[in-house]
Structure 1
Amino acid sequence: MKSITIQQPGTLVIEDRPQCEPQPGEVRIRVASAGICGSDVHIYRGHNPFAKYPRVIGHEFFGHIDAVGEGVDASRIGERVVGDPVVSCGTCYPCAVGRPNVCAELQVIGVHRDGGFSEFVTLPAKNAHVVPDSIPDNEATMVEPFTIAANICSQMHPGPLDTALVYGAGPMGLTTIQALRGVYGVKEIIVVDRIDERLAMAKANGADRVINNAHLCLKTELEALNIRPTLIVDAACHPSILPEAISLASPAARIGIMGFSADPCVLSQQAITSKELTIYSSRLNSNRFPQVISWMAEQKIQPEKLITHQFPYTQVLEAMNIFEKDQKQCCKVLLKF
């Protein structure tokens, strides 16, 4: 089978590998399409602290089950499925309280074990979620990115009383905007970014107001509008954002952090406690695939709006380059297998 492998940081090859076989309790998926994520680029560039090399990357993938391992009903062969990349032990404390995404023995497909940038991939049968025929293949490939938004929203409980501020109009920010608008019906969504073209994408995906903070002071703009956000989502992942979000937030607001920056930031305990703010962090997803599939089936979200480019997998280097460098026009890139 053909697989896209990062042999070491900076070295990507398409190589022939032996056909993978499902182990007991697993299924094998014949991959039809897969999405490129920023974390794939980080592994390629050697910036992901969790990856081991060589590694077949890719954790956003859709296809059909074509083989099953021992203990899995053979009737599953032929199912249209998307793969949840979160592989957990099921017994540790996080798993026991419904947080398998931070399992003590966590494995992420495409990071800790080989992923979906391949003609075939194996994974636990419970991680292969059936997609109804009403959802097109391309949109099905987008389920995993929306589970990231679903996960942070499940913690923050957005609602119609909320005025939301979203930092960042990249893929994470745009999926969050769609969820806030189409699923949770928040009162108003304000999006801040430094790229006008990304802000135009934010408007197209449901934002009410956009602010370019490369040219404008966010604090001044919000004060002029008499807005104090009750729900703030950091989908841009810069260490300067959390202290600013704390200062801008309404009393009793909730702040959600979606990023993985290792850089330190300085926080005022008084600024948090005086307004009794709640700060959430979110990693991957905790069994959110069925939820997002239902959102898509009910047309509460519009994943096709995020897909800007498609390439055959043989052009993966061109695809990765566009995803990494064209922040003005590129949002989600799909590879076709």
Structure 2
Amino acid sequence: MASVVIEKPGVMRRQETECQPPEAGEVCIQVEYAGICGSDLHIYHGANPFAVYPRVVGHEFVGKIVAVGEGVDPGRKGERVAVDPVISCGHCYPCSIKRPNVCENLVVLGVHRDGGFADFVCVPATNAWPVPRSIPAEIAVTIEPYSVAANVTQRTGVYPNDVALVYGAGPAGMTIIDVLRHVWQVPVIVIDKNEQRLEKAQRCGANWVFNNSHGSVAEFLQQQKLLPTLIIDVVCHPSILEEAVTLISPAGRIGLLGFSASPSSVIQQELTRRELTLYSSRLNCRMFSTVIKWMEQELIHPKNIISHVFDIQDIDSAMHLADSKADGVCKVLLKFPHTSE
């Protein structure tokens, strides 16, 4: 089988490897589509502190079950499934309180264990979520990124009278904007430095957009008479958290999606004076079923975030484009030759 391997930071190649049969409790999936995530690019650049090399990357993927291991219902063969990349131990403290996404023994497909940039991949059967026939594979591949948006909004909570502010209108930011506007139906302010991304955010439902390379976010909010009660930081530059603390309403919530190794100089007085709450969010905590329901009900709009589709043979071009952040680029997908759609 063919797979895309990142040997070490900056070194990526396609290679042929033997297709291994699934172990007990596993299924073997013939991959149809995979999505390129910022995390994959971070692994390529050596900027993901959790990655183990060499690694077949890819944690956003969908395909069909072609083989099952011992203990798995043979009737699952032929199912189209989306794969949750979060593999947890089930017995540590986080798992015991239903937080498997921060399991003490966490394994993430495409990071700690080979992922979906391959013709075939074996995963735990419990991580393979059946996709209804009404959801095509090209849409189902976005279940994982939408599960990340579902997770952070579940962590922070979204109230009917919220005014949300989202820092970042890239692929992750766009899923959050979609969820906030069309699932939770709250007004959304979007901050970014890329005009085309801001235009796309507006087309996808953002109520207000502002380019913070052109001026002060605080002044913009003041001019518009806006006071955000919920801020979600997708960019995660240390300065953004410092700014968010000064912009948000008393009793507001701040969600952090991503990670930075650099410290933020947050003034504790501001946190306590207005009783702010900070929520960090990693991956997703069993949110696939929720996102699948949203897709069935057409509450979210994955087509709006998909900008490019490349054949897997063109992986170099696809990764380069996704990394370029060029105008018009949002979610870049990889299509495999045995895709049935």
Taking the aligned partners of 2:140 and 2:203, their CA distance within structure 1 comes to 20
Q: Which residue of 1 aligns with 2:120?
A: 120
Q: Which residue of 2 aligns with 1:204?
A: 203
Letter in 2 for 1:151: N
Shift of 1:53: 1.2
Shift of 1:229: 0.4
Matched, 1:305 2:284: no
Query: Where do 5+ consecutive residues of structure 2 fail to align?
Result: 337-341
Per-residue deviation, residues 185-206 of structure 1 (Å, max 9, x unmatched): 11x1100000000101111221
Q: Which residue of 2 aligns with 1:280?
A: 279
Per-residue deviation, residues 256-299 of structure 1 (Å, max 9, x unmatched): 00021111111111100111111100000000000001100100
Q: Which residue of 1 aligns with 2:79?
A: 79
Per-residue deviation, residues 279-320 of structure 1 (Å, max 9, x unmatched): 100000000000001100100000011000001101001000
Shift of 1:329: 1.3
Shift of 1:72: 0.4
Q: Which residue of 2 aligns with 1:223?
A: 222
Matched, 1:59 2:59: yes
How do 1:264-279 and structure 2 match up within 5 A?
264-279=263-278
Shift of 1:54: 1.1
**RMSD between aligned alpha carbons?**
0.8
Q: Which moved more, 1:43-52 or 1:26-35?
A: 43-52
Distance verdict in 2 for CA 1:263–1:327, change over 3 Å: farther
Taking the aligned partners of 2:235 and 2:46, their CA distance within structure 1 comes to 20
How do 1:146-295 and structure 2 match up within 5 A?
146-186=146-186, 188-295=187-294
Shift of 1:327: 3.4
Q: Is the 8 A contact 1:6 1:54 kept in 2?
A: yes
Letter in 1 for 2:151: N
Q: Which residue of 2 aligns with 1:9?
A: 9
Taking the aligned partners of 1:155 and 1:83, their CA distance within structure 2 comes to 22
Q: Which residue of 2 aligns with 1:144?
A: 144
Q: Is the 8 A contact 1:198 1:327 kept in 2?
A: no
Matched, 1:28 2:17: no
Taking the aligned partners of 1:134 and 1:258, their CA distance within structure 2 comes to 30
Q: Which residue of 2 aligns with 1:327?
A: 326
Per-residue deviation, residues 81-112 of structure 1 (Å, max 9, x unmatched): 00000000011110111110100000000000
- TM normalised by structure 2 equals 0.97
Shift of 1:26: 0.6
SS in 2 for 1:148: helix
Taking the aligned partners of 1:296 and 1:181, their CA distance within structure 2 comes to 15
Shift of 1:20: 2.1
Per-residue deviation, residues 164-187 of structure 1 (Å, max 9, x unmatched): 00000011111000000111111x
Letter in 2 for 1:164: A
Per-residue deviation, residues 21-55 of structure 1 (Å, max 9, x unmatched): 21111111100010000110111111111111111
Letter in 2 for 1:45: H
SS in 2 for 1:240: helix
Taking the aligned partners of 1:233 and 1:57, their CA distance within structure 2 comes to 27
SS in 1 for 2:177: helix
Q: Which residue of 2 aligns with 1:93?
A: 93
Q: Is the 8 A contact 1:308 1:332 kept in 2?
A: yes
SS in 2 for 1:252: coil
Query: Where do 5+ consecutive residues of structure 1 fail to align?
Result: none
Letter in 1 for 2:109: I
Letter in 1 for 2:263: P
Letter in 2 for 1:12: M
- TM normalised by structure 1 equals 0.99
Shift of 1:326: 3.2
Matched, 1:110 2:110: yes
Shift of 1:143: 0.4
SS in 1 for 2:27: strand
Taking the aligned partners of 1:90 and 1:155, their CA distance within structure 2 comes to 21
Taking the aligned partners of 1:271 and 1:219, their CA distance within structure 2 comes to 16
Taking the aligned partners of 1:16 and 1:217, their CA distance within structure 2 comes to 52
Taking the aligned partners of 1:200 and 1:20, their CA distance within structure 2 comes to 46
Q: Which residue of 2 aligns with 1:43?
A: 43
Taking the aligned partners of 1:100 and 1:220, their CA distance within structure 2 comes to 41
Count of paired positions: 336
Taking the aligned partners of 1:274 and 1:3, their CA distance within structure 2 comes to 53
SS in 2 for 1:110: coil
Taking the aligned partners of 1:164 and 1:92, their CA distance within structure 2 comes to 34
Q: Is the 8 A contact 1:25 1:125 kept in 2?
A: yes
Shift of 1:226: 1.7
